[in-house]
Every structure is written in structure tokens, then in C-alpha cells.
Amino acid sequence: MTEAEIIKQIVDQFGKDRSRLMDIVRTAHAKLGYLSEETIGRIHSALGIHRVEVRDMVSFYAFFSRKPEGKTVIRLCNAVVERMKGADEIAKAFEEAVGCKFGQTSADGAISLKYTACIGMSDQAPAALVNGVPLTNLRPEDVPKVVAAIRSGKGPESLKQAEVDNNLLQPGPVIFAPSERGEALRAAVNRTPEEVITEINKARLRGRGGAGFPTAMKWDFCRKAKADEHFVICNADEGEPGTFKDRVILTSQADLVFEGMTVAGYAVGAKQGFLYLRAEYEYLLPHLENVLAKRRRLGLLGKDLCGREGVDFEIRIQLGAGAYVCGEESALIESLEGKRGAPRDRPPFPVQKGYRNQPTSVNNVETLCCAARILEKGADWFSKIGTKDSTGTKLLSVSGDCKHPGVFEVEYGVTVEKILEAVGAEDAQAVQMGGPSGQCLAPKDFGRSISFEDLPTGGSVMIFGPQRDLLECMYQFTEFFAEESCGWCVPCRVGTTLLLKKMDKILEDRGTRGDLEQLQSIANTVKTMSRCGLGQTAANPILSTLQNFSSLYEERLKPDDFIPAFDLSKALEEACAITGRKPELEEKHV
């Protein structure tokens, strides 16, 4: 089959639907190995859209390549926790075994080595994705075996490292307690949609992504927005470094997630739901599709749910392609519509104009599980767990310098100290609560409680032991944001790069008090002037360490009487060598 025929077949497979561009591009990439300018041209002609729209999409996502790659692509996670656990040594071992550097393809064209951001395996780091298959707990001595298995054609699935452990170390009463499939949905359809929303309101359920918006209010706004169609989206794009709880929920409680989506669909008046699954979790897709198929067979998905005529709901899983910003709900919607994941201006909010400009409720995986459990067991039961303003439980993904990394379901109100005890990390120097976009806590904060009224968190808990260079970790977090910025607005796009330059200078012991003041000022600008949540939180690692660990910055500064100088002769050396001219200035210029 020629490439033109392949593209035509793929475009036809997705009904020539422009909004399925993500799937079209993903399928073409999987078939052809990369997306050349000719391929982009063929897709744009077949879909009848502008070439720029396809190029825009292809160039935005980390998992698409525009030049030929190896048949096997190894993506090694180089997030902060992974580096703490030895990812740099693993990288060296891969370079030796494959015979090329990261960012390159082996001479025989068989294997490409790439770095990638957090793949949701920080509890079993270092980890990598090999053509989408996760390999965990890697040790340098494993690497030659991994490469040999790939070269022999066996594939990574045959390796013992291709095992993903749930590491569910503390199941709680809400998410991981046993539940009966369909019970929540039956309880929902026996009420009116308004009564379902009232029950969720009575339970005082708040969104688990970190912001804590009341779920009942979101559903109510969505339901009341006048439109032809309504939609529900489950945001399973957990890209916050250090978080992996959705991976565990989707592995062991997928039914509960789909049940929550179906309840949400009934409440807001939606007949279609989408689960937006991050590309890093593609390996979960067959399992999730199986669960959906089973629900269809049992009458819990599709038409006339639970035997109630006219109560219809269907779910489609949409895979992403590697972009942290798509965790932001409006960026996720753009991505779901087959575009680059650029956040939208708000208002209008998704509950007014979301997917295809129709009212859309976007909810977190954990929130939807809670909603299902509330319908199943009642608002009174749920609201007795946790605190007054933070009812229920919270899932924490704990990683870093601790004896027991894994997932913990805790009641809201638990202190950081208690968590550190439970995971064996009593000597922690700092805790990054809520991932890089959260805050870096000092021991003086360890008595604080995880709750919306004190320490709200999306669930990532990274622990830094006394041996860590905390500022180096903050630098790596900032690097992550600079890399993931969609580039739309200047404070985020330029500000994160300026922050890196200042941090670089301070980390190299070349910083002055003036640099520190500028660092603070730039960080404030990035936080207050950026357009979306990514930029508004990108400076948090720096701002919270400036506040809680100021001495770490102070001790790296040049003395106050130091006068910054610029060595012009040295700076001109290279230019003089090229031009053959002699530097005319031999003095150091201040």
C-alpha cells in the first residue's frame, strides 16, 4: 500500500472527521514511524483543512516526530524523582548499550533514545517507556538485557521490568473500598438529575485536582446551560510530576471511574462522555476498553441504562500525545477537538462553552469515583469522613526519599508529619506538596493538614531527604515548566527562561543580591501575569523556596561588597580568533 493510500484509509476510518485529527495523526504516526511534510500534506488534503492546522497539531505534542526514528523508541523519564533514583546512570547505560546519545538514533536505525517528562511511575523509578510499554525499577545492569531483548525482536513485554506495581499501600474507605458495579448508577437513575446534584451538594464534594471547586455547582451550571448537547469529560491526563494515583485507580477501579462518568452524564444531561487518557498510560487502553465493553454488555453503558428508557450514555477514550498543559481543562478540550493543546480564554467556562462549544463538565478521575460512591452510600456517609470543608478522602502519590513510595488514601485533615511517618521519611528536609505547581514545605510546616482549608493538593507528594540539593531540584522543576509552556503568553514563555538563567547563575555561585531580587521579581511577574494555570504556578518552586529556604539562596550569593564585572577581552576572544583581529581593550571593564 502506498503512503497516500494508507493516509486515505486512516482518514476514512475516522469518518473524515476533523475533530478526530488527534487519532488520525496518532494512527499515521504509529503506521509510518514519523510525520513528514508530505504526510502532513496528505492529511490536510484528505480532511479538507488547512495544512497549518495539521502542522500545528503535529509540532505541539512531544510524542510526535517529524523525522525518521528508530523502530523502537526508548523514552527515559528524567523527572526530578527519577534523577534522584538514578536516571542519569540509566541514561549512560542506555547510551553505551545502544551506541548513541540521547536525542539520537542508533547507526542501524533500530533504536532511538529520548528523554521524557514524568510518566507516572515515580514510585518505581527509574522508569522508561519502550514503544509505550513501561519498564520500571531499572538498574544499570538491566539495561544491556533490555537492549538485547529489543534487538532480538522479543520486545520489552517479555522482560521482568515490564511490570507495573500498583503500590497501593493504604486503601481507604472511599476510592478503594469494595463497591458493586452499577449500584451508584441504579441509585442515580432512581432519582431526578436535580436530586442527584442535590445529593452531591449535600456531600460537599469538591474537585480533587487541587482547586477544590464544588462538584455539584459545576454540574448544576452545566445542566442549566441551554444547548443542543451536553458533554462530560474525565480528565485522566495526570501530568503533574510525581503523581501516579490515576494510574492505580484506572488499573484497579476503572469501573468506578466509568460509573462516576455515567452518573455525571445523567446529572448534567449528557449522552456522551470522554475519558482523556495521557499518552504515557496508553498501555492501560486494552484494559479500559475491556471494562467499557463489559459495562455495555451489562446495560450500564449505551442505550436505556439500567432498563430506563431514554437514559443513554456512551464513553469514548481519547488518547493524548504528551503535553502537560493538556491537564488544564480548556487545553484538554482543544486537544480533544483535534487541535494543539492551547488553553482558552475564560470566560466562557467549559460548563458554558466547552467541547464543540457545548456545555461540558470536566472532572478529575478521583472526583468522579467519589461522586459514584456518594450515590452508592449516601451523602451522610461521605460527609462524615474528613473535615467540615474537606469531606471524604484524598489520594496521595508519595515518592522520593522515603522507604515506602506508593499510593495512600487518607482522610482529609491528616498532617504532613503523619504521612512522613507512614512512608518512613522522618528525616525529610522538604516536601514538595502538589507537585512542582504546588509548594515546597519546610519542616516548620509538617504539622499542617492536607485539606482545602490548609494545604490543598492534587496529590503529588515528593520527599527530599537531607542529602538533596534542594535548589537544584527547584531548577529542574522550573526547567520542566519552561519546556512545557505552550508559548502563548510572554510572562510564561519568556519568564520561565529568565528564571532559569537567574537560577543558573545562583547555582553556579555567581549570583549577587541583585540577582536574587530580580529572581523574586520575575517569579512574581510570571505568577501574576500568565494566562493559565501552568504559568500562574510555574514560579511556585522558586517562590516557595525563597520563602521557606531563603538561607539556601543566601549562602550561594557573592558577598555584598562584590562588584559584578564583565571581562570584555575574554568575551571578545572567540570573535577576535575568527576575524584575526586583536582585542583593543585589555582592561577589565566594570
Judged by CB under 6 A, which of 534, 539, 543, 546 binds ligand SF4? Answer: 534
Decide: is 485 part of the binding site for ligand SF4 (CB under 6 A): yes
Tell me how far apart the alpha carbons of residues 28 and 11 are, in angstroms, rounded to a whole number.
Answer: 9
3-state secondary structure of 101: coil
**Other CB atoms within 10 A of residue 427 CB:** 13
Decide: is 487 part of the binding site for ligand SF4 (CB under 6 A): yes
The label of the residue with cell 489520594 reads 395
Residue placing its CB nearer to ligand SF4 in the complex, 433 or 492: 492
Give the range of 108-116, 194-202, 260-268, 483-491 binding ligand SF4 by CB under 6 A: 483-491
**In whole angstroms, how close is the CB of 331 to ligand SF4 at the nearest point?**
8
**In whole angstroms, how close is the CB of 326 to ligand SF4 at the nearest point?**
10
According to DSSP, residue 409 is labeled: E
Residue placing its CB nearer to ligand SF4 in the complex, 203 or 498: 498
Residue placing its CB nearer to ligand SF4 in the complex, 318 or 537: 537
**b/e burial code for range 85-115 (CB count within 10 A of at least 16 → b):** bebeebbebbeebbebebeebbeeeebbbbb
Residue placing its CB nearer to ligand SF4 in the complex, 185 or 492: 492
**In whole angstroms, how close is the CB of 530 to ligand SF4 at the nearest point?**
4
According to DSSP, residue 350 is labeled: T
- Restricted to residues 490-519, the positions that interact with ligand SF4 (CB under 6 A) are 492-493
Give the range of 113-121, 277-285, 406-414, 485-493 binding ligand SF4 by CB under 6 A: 485-493
**In whole angstroms, how close is the CB of 321 to ligand SF4 at the nearest point?**
16
Contact predicate 97/380, CB 8 Å: no
Tell me how far apart the alpha carbons of residues 174 and 159 are, in angstroms, rounded to a whole number.
Answer: 35
- Restricted to residues 311-340, the positions that interact with ligand SF4 (CB under 6 A) are 325
Decide: is 273 part of the binding site for ligand SF4 (CB under 6 A): no
**In whole angstroms, how close is the CB of 200 to ligand SF4 at the nearest point?**
30
**In whole angstroms, how close is the CB of 300 to ligand SF4 at the nearest point?**
37
Decide: is 76 part of the binding site for ligand SF4 (CB under 6 A): no
Contact predicate 104/68, CB 8 Å: no
**In whole angstroms, how close is the CB of 348 to ligand SF4 at the nearest point?**
17
Residue placing its CB nearer to ligand SF4 in the complex, 272 or 496: 496
**In whole angstroms, how close is the CB of 455 to ligand SF4 at the nearest point?**
24
**In whole angstroms, how close is the CB of 211 to ligand SF4 at the nearest point?**
15
| CA-based R_g, the chain, Å | 25
**Sequence-ordered alpha helix ranges (H) in 350-463:** 365-377, 379-383, 416-423
Residue placing its CB nearer to ligand SF4 in the complex, 386 or 533: 533
Residue placing its CB nearer to ligand SF4 in the complex, 343 or 458: 343
Residue placing its CB nearer to ligand SF4 in the complex, 209 or 273: 209
Cell of 133: 510499554
Decide: is 535 part of the binding site for ligand SF4 (CB under 6 A): yes
Tell me how far apart the alpha carbons of residues 52 and 284 are, in angstroms, rounded to a whole number.
Answer: 32
**In whole angstroms, how close is the CB of 299 to ligand SF4 at the nearest point?**
42
Kind of pairing, strands 111-116 and 168-170? unpaired
Decide: is 488 part of the binding site for ligand SF4 (CB under 6 A): yes
Judged by CB under 6 A, which of 215, 530, 545, 548 binds ligand SF4? Answer: 530
Cell of 148: 538485547
Residue placing its CB nearer to ligand SF4 in the complex, 179 or 485: 485
**Angle formed at CA 516 by CA 513 and CA 517, multiple of 5 degrees:** 90
- Restricted to residues 336-395, the positions that interact with ligand SF4 (CB under 6 A) are 343
Among 140, 162, 139, which Cα is nearest to 149's?
162
Judged by CB under 6 A, which of 232, 486, 542, 543 binds ligand SF4? Answer: 486
The label of the residue with cell 485539606 reads 451
**Order of strands, edge to edge, in the sheet holding 128-130?**
111-116, 72-77, 128-130, 133-135
According to DSSP, residue 349 is labeled: P
Residue placing its CB nearer to ligand SF4 in the complex, 77 or 534: 534
| Binding residue count for ligand SF4, defined by CB under 6 A | 14
Give the range of 117-125, 145-153, 364-372, 525-533 binding ligand SF4 by CB under 6 A: 525-533
Residue placing its CB nearer to ligand SF4 in the complex, 113 or 539: 539
Tell me how far apart the alpha carbons of residues 512 and 558 are, in angstroms, rounded to a whole number.
Answer: 5
**In whole angstroms, how close is the CB of 534 to ligand SF4 at the nearest point?**
4
DSSP secondary structure of 117-155: S--S-GGG-S-EEETTEEE-S--GGGHHHHHHHHHTT--
* Cβ-proximal residues to 210 (8 Å cutoff; 6+ apart), any chain: 434, 437, 438, 456, 457, 458, 459
Amino acid at 465: G
The label of the residue with cell 482558552 reads 344
Which parts of this chain interact with ligand SF4 (CB under 6 A)? 325, 343, 485-489, 492-493, 530-532, 534-535
